[in-house]
Chain A
């Protein structure tokens, strides 16, 4: 395996970590709705904290290794529209994810609606980035 193989592997692995952990957080949101949630508040907070950290690690990894790849691969440039758009959406998505984490941590019940809204924004952003990575419009 050369450097390119490693970068691609780590880039894709980070994407799996970010989307995977976000999926786990949606499972948490679904299981804690209603008057009698299946998880205790303390366990839900532990799960949410761990999931949030994993999303963050994945988000950082995906952009670091992605930019590194774009610089290294001939034919791709950071200012290619689909790459530039991905970076902008990544930043907005990351901001939304941070806000979601803060809303849930501050007040898991009162901040739930805001947390879900920001988490949805985070998820839509990652979904659009996945579409851009596969179709690469303008490449």
Chain B
């Protein structure tokens, strides 16, 4: 992180801070969803409670964290004043994972809304599991994004 911060000097510190904090909160909330889904798979007797916890966490936590991460990223990029045509692979990987992530988060949010309604009637565990699987996919994508942001492949 210290090396990340040294890229653009003091003017990028605050936007970079928001970006990194948002990304960490995003990973944390996705981790909560994935962990609850994994435990629910092994404990079918409590799958409804765990599913409700996972879907609520996604709706309440993942979306705001994503927005913070994305706004921080755009703000950092704007403050960096990259020259025209500057398009390194690491920046592209970050943008692709963020944009594809947005799509998957929208899908997950929709499934969560439907799933929560169904869980009130005792069904809907399948929706929670689907959201959990998407969360695991997102965690893998963000692992690649963290690698790209730190190793900075050209």
Contact = CB atoms under 8 A, between A and B. Distances in A.
B46 A43 contact: yes
A27 B61 contact: yes
A15 B150 contact: no
Interface residues of A, number: 39
Specify the main secondary structure of chain B where it touches its partner: helix
Nearest to A41: B46
Highest count of chain A CB atoms <10 Å: which of B28, B35, B50, B151: B28
Contacts, number: 118
A33 to B, nearest CB: 12
Contacts of A134: 1-2, 5, 13, 16-17, 20
Contacts of A51: 35
B113 interface: no
Given A50-B35, A134-B5, A136-B5, A16 B53 contact: no
Interface in B1-51: 1-6, 10, 13, 16-17, 20-21, 23-25, 27-32, 35-36, 39-40, 43, 46, 49-50
Question: Chain A at the B interface: mostly helix, strand, loop or mixed?
Answer: helix
Interface stretch (A5-13, A90-98, A99-107, A108-116): A5-13
Interface in A10-42: 11-13, 15-16, 19-24, 26-28, 31, 38-40, 42
Interface of A: 1, 5-6, 8-9, 11-13, 15-16, 19-24, 26-28, 31, 38-40, 42-43, 46-47, 50-51, 54, 69, 73, 76, 130-131, 133-136
